[in-house]
Structure 1
Amino acid sequence: MTSIHPGNLHGTGDRTNKSRYHYARQRVQEAQKSKMEESDGARREETARKQTNNGLIVILILMIVLTWGIAATAYFGVIDYKGLVVRGSRIKVTDAAGYASALYPFQYDSARHPLKAIGKFLTSIDDYITNFLFSSEVSTNSLKKHRPIVRTIPLNKESNIVKRDTSKSESVVSDDPNPTKKPAEEKDVAKASDPSNDKDKPRKAKSPQPKQPKDSSTKKTKQETVKTNESTKKKKPSTVSEEDKKILNKLKEGERLLEKKKGTEAWKYFKKLSADYPESPKARFYRGKSEAMVAEQQKSNPMLTQAITTFTEVSEMSNCPKELQKQALIAKGERESFLGRMKPALQTQIELAKLYPKDIGILNKLGVRYLMLGKNTAAKKVYAEVLRLSPNDGFALVHMGFILKNAGEWAESVPYLMRGTESNEQGTQEGKFYFHLGDALYRTNQTKEAEQVYEKAAAKGLFRSKYQRSLYNVDRLRGKPFWTPEEAGVKDYVRRLELNWKLIRDEAMAILNTDTGLFDGESESLRDTGEWKQFPLFQRGRKEEANCRRTPKTCNILERMPNAAGCRRGQVKFSVMMPGTHVWPHTGPTNCRLRMHLGLVIPTTGSGTRLTCAGEMRTWQEGKVWIFDDSFEHEVWQQADSLRLILIVDIWHPDITEHEKKTLTAI
């Protein structure tokens, strides 16, 4: 008989029951696991919901706080919010709390104020915002790119908006409207008291560690710079009248023609426009400009004369704006001067000076107009007035020095010329001013200083060299102190003069003995001592008819020398020098000529006569010719017992072309 185990009462059916038991148990475990997972999911969802709610609350508070700050900035102008952000981007994160404390006025005393919790909470929000804004993760460059220009009001110690105990800590925002603290020093400003501290006593500020500023001068903030620029910027005077405003587009259209240098088109355009709108000063002014442009392009003096007339009409129009009247008169005077009408040009400049009695440029030009007419005394008064208005005006200084020098006041002229040339102002760096400064120094026994002036001017390119100081030059010409007849290309001239020297001498002595009054005294203030007179035969390429009638044979010989008689930058003359004469070192005006000396009466008694050119000495012989370049410095002594008589003959430089002989300005 088969035994039955107590756990297996049903025999083979027991295996089925066992399977069902395990299945049920598994179902229970799965149910428990599912329930646990559902519970965990619910907890996670709850946690996430709480976090979301917290985040929303934080964001809401941040928005409220930021909105308050921005609104206060825009409305009251009391908080430089963006400025603080930018400044904060240049400081350490540890210093952020100090800037945050100036950002919002939530400076509640946590021990006394009833809103203790709110004060602490908002202060912590301040710290959170500040650390976020000024963290190392924020790009400093991006903040600098968008640096705003905002209206700011300094918060001082007595401000009701931000209250601090300033006895032990520095205020973040200076109460000085003109702060002297350097930007480099402002980087490490001491932190203000911590508003989250429950103690009544504010936290002690750290001692600042200022960096050495690069520049000792105070740097202005961007706001101050903008304000300064706006205040110093002057409004440009208007040249547009009420009549002009009606046709602005048409004026601009014609102006474009002038800009494109289309002279004829512009002239026709403005001629019609000024006829259609006769009361428009601007249209008439542009007509004058177009006429001047056509005159220049076509080399037409009649058209230039018409431009002068038009500019005059503009200046006389009753509705002409003052600035346009000024421009019209300036344009008129320049064209009058160009045509050689010096007296009308002077009157125009006088009219301008009456309208603008304190305009330095107009007064300086008035002085020049007087000088061009030889009215040095009037010019001196003008430049004295300029120097009264502007004592350091370089242009007035050099011209005042020039006037004094030519009046023989050498010592008085030196400081004016020295200061004027050293100013390097426009119009002062001309060779003539250095020329006269050096000459004045030499004549006051300051030889070394004179040489330094000449060397300085040569280095500036104002002179060809220390010795060659002529002012009207052709740059390519060869230059040296002495020349041979072959080098100068005048062998036949020299031979003809030397063959006829006695005939020439006799004619000269005849006019000298019969009537010494025919010889003119030297007029260029070159003589130091003694007596030096001249008798011209040809000047600037033109024959002196009256004098040649007295010396017909000499002039007949010279007329067969076209490079001498026709030298428009030279002269032919007899020169007589009495004993005891000394001529200062000087130079001729141009390098376009060479100078021949024919000895007629040469004394040999006493110490004789001599000429030094660029440091090289020569003397004369009767009946002999030698040639030198008078654009080089030369000096003459006559220390004999009787007069010295020579014939001076200027000839074109051998390198001058035939075209240049005809076109170079006569001197």
Structure 2
Amino acid sequence: MAIPLQTSPEQHLADAAAAMRRGDTAGALAAIGLAEQASPHDPNIKMQRALALRMSGAYPAAIEALDAALAVDPYNFLALLSKGALVEKLSGERLAARVYQNALKLAPPDDKLAPQLAAPVARAREVVERVQAELEAFLRANMGPVESAGSELARARLDEAIGIYAGRKRVYNHEPLLLHYPRLPAVPFYPRELFPWLPELEAATPMILEELQGVLAGRMSDFSPYIAFPPDVPANQFEELNHSPRWSSLFLWKDGERQDAVCESCPRTAALLERLPMAHQPQFAPTAMFSALDAHTRIPPHTGSTNTRLLTHLPLILPGPARFRVGNEIREWKMGEAWVFDDTIEHEAWNDADKLRVILIFDVWNPFLEPGERDLVAALMSARNRFYAG
């Protein structure tokens, strides 16, 4: 007597799909049950059960089926996205947002997303963003004014913490390319009161601009591309600006060396910089330069070499809107206003104007370093260079 062939799980699922097309939910669930008996640990079969239950309006049972699929495969993007939609129907956006957040972490890039998933993913993002905004507003309304936190640093710290706690902002840490000095605070823009010389620098803006204009009139050709990687170094995010005059610089000090010819062209600017507490690290710092960015040009996100020193920006030519981001904070340059920031925190810049933007950039010691530390940090970095030199 011939032994009947067993029906495969795939055939049972095909039968279930045919039943669903006929509107026969009971038949579909029966076929899916047979598929599960044959392959009890297949998450795709559990996903089919969830689909059939959802089509029948049995949402709680559909969520249970999705949870069973996630128990087998916790990184199942489709299961999480589907569960988020069901939770939204049953319990509202706030609970759904938690599920959607996990789904979005696993979502493929938009250009690799299946067309039929574009709308559900967009809905997930919409819900998450709305709930996070509502949460942030609720937190601010129920905790008291940020202004009562204290100093500028305390207010900025608390304000950013609220955004991070609500999920609307990300955490930015030091990401130095060369030396990470531990136990220094990761502060995007440092409080002005730590730099009592800032008013003197800002008051000198017209004088520095006058000398810069003389340089631009006679030595603009001396500006060179700021990004100039050798052929064997990947340009990565700087590919568009590599060896490009769209972001160019003219150095007054470079890697600790005074550029005498440029300083002689800008004698009062050079004298001012020599009075300021620039970071002196042989072969590394100070660096001081005029930085020129062409119209409608963006400097992509990047980080600097070490958190033992900070960068100062003073705008000199601002033909229109120009923005600068450090971590979660975006500021616009304003004439006569300088700032000091930690460039080992991810930062980027935009010149949104129709003409060239020029700022003065120079580095200063991190104010949280003690004088003895400064000397030893300089010795530490020089020793590393000597080690590799031979």
Sort the TM-score into its range (normalised by shorter chain): 0.3 to 0.5
- Larger-gyration structure (1/2): 1
Structure of higher RCO (CA pairs closer than 8 Å, 6+ residues apart): 2
Bigger proportion of residues as strand: 2
